[in-house]
Amino acid sequence: MEKIASFTIDHTRLLRGIYVSRKDYLEGGDVVTTFDIRMKEPNREPAVSQSALHTIEHLAATYLRNHPEWGSRIVYWGPMGCCTGNYLLVKGDLTSADVASLVRETFEFIVGFEGDIPGATAHDCGNYMLMNLPMAKWEARKYLVEVLENLKEENLNYPA
């Protein structure tokens, strides 16, 4: 079997950041851009706990799909299996810089969130007890302050 594109990225050199993972060109000319929202340096620092990542998923997906400008273009937000980040799928032929402000806003929302986690009930979620709001906020703040507020070229383009 042919190796998929995301497995060809050198994860030993990958930094935290926002990367274009792929672009899918759909029938009719529409494009969906998949972003790699990398919160951790793979294999070099501890991954995000499942409970924090699950909480981030609920908060980010809710925020993004309700965003007044971007909401209608959001296709998906969800965690990576390796627990080092998330995928964001957006309608449009976009670059990492195009969504940097949106991603920053999303993580600011998570850092400041108080109250009940959206969708964290037995009725709404398949594993609603796997939530940790304090750790989600801690991880979001770390990514926001250390990466999103100081984005550089190496945080926006995959290593060559």
Predicted confidence at residue 150, as pLDDT, reads 96
- pLDDT score of 145 more than 90: yes
State mean pLDDT over 151-157: 97
d(CA 69, CA 121): 28
**pLDDT of 71-128, one tens digit each?**
999 999 999 999 999 999 999 999 999 999 999 999 999 999 999 999 999 999 999 9
57 has a pLDDT exceeding 90 = yes
Confidence of residue 148 (pLDDT cuts 50, 70, 90): very high
Residue 5: pLDDT over 90? no
Domains of the chain (ranges, CATH numbers): 5-154 (3.30.1360.80)
pLDDT exceeds cutoff 90 at 16: yes
- Is the pLDDT at 6 greater than 90? The verdict is no
C-alpha separations of 92 from 8, 80, 100, 104 in Å: 24, 22, 15, 19
pLDDT of residue 160: 85
